[in-house]
């Protein structure tokens, strides 16, 4: 559990903010697993989270969670800030828009998440009632007013959707939302010319690699995209053409939710960070998931940062492995099941 989760609820626990009354409706944007509400916090929580592993963990803990907020008129909104400045600002804008007039918005984040600069940014747009530092972070709060509504509009205007290479629609918070990731481009540039049959893109993001597959492969029978970030997958629906086949889109945690279909080819650029820490086990789990999803004789094409230790797990999981491209930052592997 991140310390920022404790920071978020601390003003209520410390009696600096009054506990929501019983029956009050509280929106929690960016909810993450492990949070505990203070004793006496009896409001009905509506959780919003688009990252599939968090959703599964929250659901397993008995919470109701949706990928996007579906109602408004909330009494209070809680916003857990993360490391994406633009996403933080968009979440705060939504919190303002979703609470009733005069409703309370509480925002918390860790020092490493840039909460100090976020507090300064908000202070230049609206009146912050107060703030409270705790657990290596800060909670701040304000009310929905006409000034706050203007602030929400400004936050949205400063974080618009992007159009990458005049083709791909993205938004702040998505991986590499301002440009095509260099690793993904190296992977796409080294895909074989004979792609055919059923193809899956694991960790598909907003759809760049899948779109390149669709553009180059003339004998596709299926193109399935798997992605844990709900918003990125929604963007991919607009970014990946529906020719030569109609793509299918799966909001899925590949490490925990098995893939039912079997494929002739899997392409992937797996993540390798958990928050700020490098975690090669994520990619290693993706490699095993790709092997399980491939037909006998099926092929994996994968890009990874040069320093990551994927060669041993590839060699142990596949019958043959080749490094087919390398540059100063990335390696592209081809592996056959």
Structure confidence by residue, pLDDT tens digits, 236-272: 999 999 988 999 999 999 999 999 999 999 999 998 7
Report residue 32 as tokens: 């993450």
User: Which residue(s) pair with 244 in the sheet?
Assistant: none
pLDDT at 89: 98
H-type alpha helices, 18-170 = 52-60, 85-98, 115-123, 146-157
Q: How confident is the model at residue 100 (pLDDT cuts 50, 70, 90)?
A: very high
Residue 197's alpha-carbon distances to 158, 215, 245, 261, 323, in angstroms, are 43, 14, 11, 13, 23
**Which single residue is written with the structure tokens 């997958």?**
233
pLDDT at 243: 85
Q: How confident is the model at residue 278 (pLDDT cuts 50, 70, 90)?
A: low
Residue 265 near residue 68, CB atoms below 8 Å: no
For the segment 131-143, the average pLDDT, to the nearest whole number, is 97
Q: How confident is the model at residue 30 (pLDDT cuts 50, 70, 90)?
A: very high
- Alpha-carbon distance of 6 to 51, in angstroms, equals 20
Report residue 1 as tokens: 């559990």
pLDDT exceeds cutoff 90 at 1: no
Q: What angle do CA 248, 289, 228 make, to 5 degrees?
A: 50
pLDDT at 282: 86
pLDDT over 70 percentage in the chain: 98
pLDDT exceeds cutoff 70 at 314: yes
- Predicted TM-score (pTM) of this structure: 0.94
Q: What is the dihedral of CA 309, 311, 314, 320, to 10 degrees?
A: 180
pLDDT at 273: 56
Range from 83-92, 124-133, 276-285 carrying the lowest mean pLDDT: 276-285
Segments of 263-319 assigned E as strands? 263-268, 273-274, 277-278, 294-305
pLDDT exceeds cutoff 60 at 275: no
pLDDT at 277: 57
Range from 69-78, 194-203, 252-261, 270-279 carrying the lowest mean pLDDT: 270-279
């Amino acid at each position: 559990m991140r310390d920022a989760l404790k920071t978020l609820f601390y003003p209520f626990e410390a009696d600096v903010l009054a506990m929501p009354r019983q029956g009050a409706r509280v929106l929690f944007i960016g909810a993450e697993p492990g949070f505990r509400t203070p004793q006496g916090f009896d409001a009905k929580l509506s959780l919003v989270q688009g990252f599939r592993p968090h959703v599964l963990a929250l659901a397993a803990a008995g919470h109701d969670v949706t990928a996007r907020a579906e109602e408004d008129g909330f009494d209070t909104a809680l916003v857990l800030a993360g490391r994406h400045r633009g996403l933080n600002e968009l979440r705060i804008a939504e919190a303002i828009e979703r609470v009733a007039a005069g409703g309370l918005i509480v925002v918390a984040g860790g020092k490493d998440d840039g909460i100090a600069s976020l507090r300064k940014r908000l202070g230049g747009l609206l009146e912050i009632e107060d703030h409270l530092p705790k657990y290596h972070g800060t909670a701040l709060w304000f009310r929905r007013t006409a000034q706050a509504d203007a602030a929400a509009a400004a936050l949205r205007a400063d974080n618009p959707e992007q159009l990458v290479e005049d083709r791909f629609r993205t938004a702040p918070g998505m991986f590499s939302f301002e440009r095509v990731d260099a690793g993904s481009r190296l992977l796409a540039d080294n895909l074989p010319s004979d792609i055919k049959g059923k193809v899956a893109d694991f960790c598909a993001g907003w759809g760049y690699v899948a779109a390149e597959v669709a553009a180059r492969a003339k004998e596709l029978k299926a193109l399935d995209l798997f992605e844990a970030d709900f918003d990125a997958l929604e963007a991919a629906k607009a970014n990946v053409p529906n020719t030569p086949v109609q793509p299918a889109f799966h909001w899925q945690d590949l490490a925990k939710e098995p893939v039912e279909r079997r494929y002739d080819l899997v392409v992937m650029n797996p993540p390798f960070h958990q928050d700020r820490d490098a975690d090669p086990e994520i990619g290693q789990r993706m490699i095993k998931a790709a092997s399980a999803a491939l037909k006998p004789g099926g092929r994996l094409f994968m890009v990874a940062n040069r320093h990551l230790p994927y060669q041993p797990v590839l060699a142990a999981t596949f019958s043959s492995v080749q490094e087919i491209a390398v540059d100063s930052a990335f390696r592209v592997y081809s592996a056959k099941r």
